[in-house]
Copies of this chain bind each other. A is one copy, B any other.
Amino acid sequence: MRIPKAIQNLIESFEKLPGIGPKTAARLTFYLLHVPQGELDKFASATQNLKKETNICSICFMIDEKDPCSICSDSKRDSSIICVVEQPLDVLALEKSDKYNGLYHVLHGKIDPLNNIGPDEIYIQQLFDRFHNGKNSQVQEIILATNPTMEGEATAMYIKKQFQISNFKFQITRIGRGLPTGSDIEYADEITLQRAMEGRQNYE
């Protein structure tokens, strides 16, 4: 039995998504066979319009409807801090935490030599360009909030070094490391515990 072309096409499209293997792709496709055509049309047009109806912000490289994005164009945000993250989803996560009111810079990736991604493949130069010719002299702090992974650390380190070479006067910080809420010291890995000890704070 040959799988119908229409089904095969959708399975192949699903398979290209990260974390979706052939079995899940088939399951999702056969699930959609039971869904009303109106839902399928909605799904299809959402996919088709995804990139057409969104822009990349020319300042911070966040994805939004307008350019500059709603954060960069919001005068109520604190423009003296810039938080550097790997992905747009990181901005959404930090915004949800409701603890940060500064600006962002989205790198759209991390330095990852094993996958041939160097500093030029992500928006690092654009971060330095934000300070070109004395622009943004109000900035007092850069928070490096790349992921606490090998690549994220390498990216943070690279950015710090470049800023140090350029002799900028703002403070450079790294997002806090330690035990996540709800975790268990017994099961925490060594590096997390090391960072948690190093990062201990006055208990007020």
A69-107 interface bits toward B, Cβ cutoff 8 Å, 1 = contact, 0 = none: 111000000000000000111011001000000000000
Dominant SS at the A interface? helix
Complex Cα distance, B89 from A47, in Å, reads 25
Size band of the interface chain A makes with B: 35 or more
Of residues 17 through 66 on chain A, the ones whose CB sits less than 8 Å from some CB of chain B are 17-20, 24, 26-35, 37, 39-54, 62-65
- Known contacts being A26-B92, A30-B87, A95-B1, is A6 close to B71, with CB within 8 Å? no
User: How many monomers of this chain does the complex have?
Assistant: 2
Q: Is A4 an interface residue (CB 8 A)?
A: yes
A122-148 interface bits toward B, Cβ cutoff 8 Å, 1 = contact, 0 = none: 000000000000000000000000000
The 28 listed contacts between A and B (C-beta, < 8 Å) are A1-B62, A1-B70, A1-B71, A1-B92, A2-B70, A3-B92, A4-B53, A5-B65, A6-B52, A7-B54, A9-B46, A9-B49, A12-B46, A13-B39, A16-B39, A17-B31, A17-B32, A18-B27, A18-B28, A26-B92, A30-B89, A32-B47, A33-B63, A33-B88, A40-B48, A41-B48, A43-B44, A44-B44
